[in-house]
Structure 1
Amino acid sequence: HGTNAEELERMVLGGMSAMQAIVASTSVAARCCQLDHLTGTIAVGMRADILAINGDPLADIRVLQDSGNIHLIMKDGHAFKPLH
């Protein structure tokens, strides 16, 4: 996942709420790239790209930076266990 999680922390440090940062990096980013018909939200007919983590990113966005917190990765509806 590269530096995406660090970018989310920077958004929060810049004044966004954790939820605003998550929305900016998912649905807003998809809309800006004109991919919002495929991805960016969890809905029927959309790609199922989901990250399940141990922790609450709304309480502490930095939980997304520790790969040890990743419980499950889902890409296009296929579930993968993370490599720890």
Structure 2
Amino acid sequence: MAMTAYGMTPYEALRTATYYPAKKMGVEDDLGTIEEGKIADIVFVKGNPLEEIKDTVNVQMVMKDGKIYLIDDIITPFMKQN
């Protein structure tokens, strides 16, 4: 969100956080964008981060290695047990 506060568009901010690091590390053939043949771990959010960057925090579910994880699936193992 700080990037958009200093003038980047939401698209530019998202690209700066995904594609450019992958390119810098030399792994852009596998990571950094969603394309056929790439490793596709995806975060599903409510809203449209391309219009409102704050929507990136509205995570609804995550797909990792083709398996869907709901927020409760992710958080539950870290909940404090009494």
Q: TM-score by structure 2 length?
A: 0.77
Residue 74 (str. 1) matches residue 63 (str. 2)? yes
Contiguous gaps of at least 5 residues in structure 1: 1-8
Aligned length: 73
2:45 alignment partner in structure 1:
53
1:11 alignment partner in structure 2:
3
Percent identical residues: 30
C-alpha separation between the residues in 1 aligned to 2:69 and 2:14? 22
More relative contact order in 1 or in 2 (CA 8 Å, sep 6+)? 1
RMSD: 1.5
Q: TM-score by structure 1 length?
A: 0.75
C-alpha separation between the residues in 2 aligned to 1:32 and 1:76? 23
C-alpha separation between the residues in 2 aligned to 1:34 and 1:12? 26
C-alpha separation between the residues in 2 aligned to 1:36 and 1:75? 18
2:31 alignment partner in structure 1:
39
Contiguous gaps of at least 5 residues in structure 2: 76-82
Offset at residue 76 of structure 1 (A) = 2.9
Structure 1 segments of 4+ aligned residues over 6 angstroms from their partners? none
Report the secondary structure of 1:58's partner residue: coil
C-alpha separation between the residues in 2 aligned to 1:71 and 1:60? 16
Higher CA-based Rg: 2
